[in-house]
Structure 1
Amino acid sequence: MNQPSTEYGIFPDEVILQILARLPIKSLLRTKRVCKLWYRLVSDRFFIHLYNELSVRNPMVLIEVSESSESRSSLICVDNLRGVSEISLDFIKDRVKVRASCNGLLCCSSIPDKGVYYVCNPMTRQLKLLPRSRERPVTRFHPDGEATLVGLACNLLTQRYSVVLAGYHRSFGHRPGKTFICLVFDSESNKWRKFVSMQDDHFTHMNRNQVVFIHNSLHWMTESGSCVLVLDLNYDIWRKISLPDEVSRGSGNRVYLLESDGHLSVIQISEVWMSIWVLKDYEIEKWEMVDRVSFRCIRGMVPGIFPISQTSEHVFLATHKQVLVYQRNSRVWKEMYSVKNSSTLPLWFSAHNFRSTIFSCR
């Protein structure tokens, strides 16, 4: 990728690039209409890489809010830098639920039509309806007619993505066994592939929402909290990563899986503390505790609190009605968003880590 060399007015190329790379995507897309030169600049591969590189340093929280089971969901984007904004999915002519988020793309499943999946970029409003798999329908997965695990893997450098649907297969009228079916859609080939393995771990609804994509692998926390389940997309192989020795699921502790600046991270929440570990060495599985936070200031919210995204500077957490941000350097808590209506589901039930990127899903 070659960096553009033309100078624009009195500013050097590098300054113009850095300014544009910090604009919100909606504003950035409007700059394309200024002139042909700016259109080429914003469309250049070097600029797209620069924009995405800066964007991934600012993870946000995306919350799905629905007034009723029959209405379309609206998306609330909570940004530590730009505040709160609303994003519409009205370009998807279907009622959908967000199942996974990765590097600016969302994987959504159709609510009325089982087995129908979309990948979209809500910021650029690009959309792709995934082809139907020729394999057995997803309705034969356990337990609720949907895949137990849904994962989205987006490589910002290659602009290639994969969608993973996995679950325990069962014969009709029988309990599910340990046979684990995995379907992987590859955007480059525009096809699904399938492989079968044996798994004895189970997953809760919230555990499957917290999927982390790093090292070209997807990571989920098992329901027991004893390990992390890993799918290596290079070789279609499942494996496990052990948790830090100090992590405990007993005595009211809860354990969650997140990303932190390109590393795998585990957050343990107890009645009075939030402890954060980061996998510093992925190859030898070396964990390091990087922070321990007191809940003294928000004690009443702790039973329903749920971490959504983080960096080395802050942690986003959701309660039943609020989104909070914890500033790790200043040790200050701040409310970023609060539900005004009487929504029945807690916010963390449908909250996802999100980034605003230029990523084509077509």
Structure 2
Amino acid sequence: MDRARRAKELVANKNSMIYMDLKDIVKDHALPFLPAKSLFRFNGVCKDWKTQIRSPFFAHKQSTSFSDVSGFFLVSASTVPSFISIDSMAYGVPDPSLKFLPEPVDIRASSNGLLCCQGREGYKAYYICNPVTKQWKKLPKPNADHGSDPALVLIFEPSLLSFVAEYKLVCAFPSQDFENGHEFEIYSSKEGSWRISGEIFYGGGSVVPRSGVYVNDIIYWYASSGRILVFDLKMERAQLLYGHGYYDSILGVIDGKLCSAKAQGTGVTISVLSNAYTNTMQMHSSVKAWERKLTINLTPAPVPSTAGSSTGSLLFASGNLVLYRCGSKLHSYNLRTKETLYIGDELYHGTFVPHVNSLVEI
């Protein structure tokens, strides 16, 4: 009898979800998957939604649920930053120029809603900020000189188990003590300090700023030699990897793997890293480092910015999104929906930094 009664109660509890109001279902199970700009607009739906959206717990849940690239900051040394949205109705930031920071800045890197910015004055301090909430933190001065255009990678992976945004900032910089060497300095928000790794890497030429990509505890930068500098963040070891040449290709992440995208003909070819150790194998080995994943035909096609060269036509390729220029016009292509969208004109040349419209709190 007791067993039968417990079984009926269990079925009743499961069925109770059917009788929830639609507004409660949306509030609890849909809102966390929406971008920040849309959520700010939904503040006016009702008092209950407003209270929900403004709670720290909801901000944390949204930051772990929403991860789509929402747009790009266009950065130039001669102008203030501006923001180009993939969908202006859904995605946006209240102050694209980042005037809420204490000084003019250049955006150096981004990761899952956070930006790494560098001041243009004094010793050029680093700031970590969320452009949606206008929260920011000034980092302590690094131990080493990172140069005028540092090769930085920001690493932030939201976790349901951590209510505090824990992140790392890694810089590959030319060594002042060892000729033709590169060293690595790491900032940890958990420790609140910088630390220079004991690893020193020789060869490969200079590291290309803003080319860095983080995948599964490993950071990849293009080097001026056309090869890829690899830094294992756990082992703190570096090596060189054969690449496709940074002049006409870019690095990204697709399906959890490092990818290299290259503009070719009327579209884009994307290859994924299948073997990172081909440089240690015997000569004439049939094992290849890169495996072609897909070729995308684009309409309109990426038009080279320089006659006879594809340099500069492909701007971003990671996750489900490809960003490219056709003349002065910018287009995005969604790998999931197969849609191509015109998202705006490129008013001036600069660097495109991806942004996730997140409510993550610093």
Q: Residue 12 of structure 1: CA displacement?
A: 7.5
Q: Which residue number in structure 2 is paired with residue 308 of structure 1?
A: 316
Deviation at 1:120, TM superposition (A): 0.6
What does 1:1-362 align with in structure 2 at a 5 Å threshold?
10-11=21-22, 14-28=25-39, 39=51, 43=55, 45=57, 47-48=58-59, 50-56=61-67, 58-64=68-74, 69=78, 73-80=80-87, 82=89, 85=92, 87-133=96-142, 135-136=143-144, 138=145, 141=146, 145-146=147-148, 148-157=150-159, 158=162, 159-170=165-176, 177-196=179-198, 197-203=200-206, 207-226=208-227, 228-243=228-243, 247=244, 249=245, 254-279=248-273, 287-294=290-297, 297-298=300-301, 300-301=303-304, 303=310, 304-312=312-320, 314-318=321-325, 321-328=328-335, 333-340=340-347, 343=348, 346=349, 349-361=350-362
Q: Which amino acid aligns with 1:256?
A: I
Shift of 1:165: 2.2
For residues 332 and 16 of structure 1, the distance between their equivalents in structure 2, rounded to whole angstroms, comes to 29
The answer on whether the counterparts of 1:59 and 1:353 sit within 8 Å (CA) in structure 2 is yes
Aligned equivalents of 1:308, 1:60: Cα separation in 2: 13
State the AA in 1 paired with 2:259.
S
Q: Percent identity?
A: 21
Could you tell me how far apart the structure 1 residues matched to 2:341 and 2:43 are? 36
Relative to 1, partners in 2 of residues 1:130 and 1:215: Cα closer, same or farther, differing over 3 Å? same
Aligned pair in 2 of structure 1 residues 129, 177: CA closer, same or farther (>3 Å)? same
**Is the 8 Å Cα contact of residues 202 and 223 (structure 1) preserved in structure 2?**
yes
In the alignment, residue 72 of structure 2 is paired with which amino acid? L
Counterpart amino acid of 1:91? Answer: F
Q: CA RMSD in A?
A: 3.8
Provide closer, same or farther for how the CA distance between residues 76 and 178 of structure 1 changes in structure 2, counting only shifts above 3 A.
same
Give the direction of change, closer, same or farther, for the CA distance of 1:318–1:52 in structure 2 (3 Å limit): farther
Opposite residue 233 of structure 1, the aligned amino acid is L
Q: Which runs of 5+ in 1 are unaligned?
A: none
Corresponding residue SS for 1:298: coil
Q: Secondary structure at the match of 1:307?
A: strand
Structure 1 pair 193/29, CA: closer, same or farther in 2 (3 Å)?
A: farther
Identify if the C-alpha distance between structure 1 residues 81 and 327 changes in structure 2 by more than 3 Å, giving closer, same or farther.
farther
Query: Considering only CA atoms, is the larger Rg found in Structure 1 or Structure 2?
Result: 2
Q: Give the deviation of 1:218 after TM superposition.
A: 2.2
Is the deviation greater in 215-224 or in 21-30? 21-30
- Could you say what secondary structure the match of 1:264 adopts? strand
Aligned-residue offset at 1:358: 2.8
TM-score (ref. length: structure 2): 0.74
| Amino acid across the alignment from 2:237 | I
Q: Report the number of matched residues.
A: 325
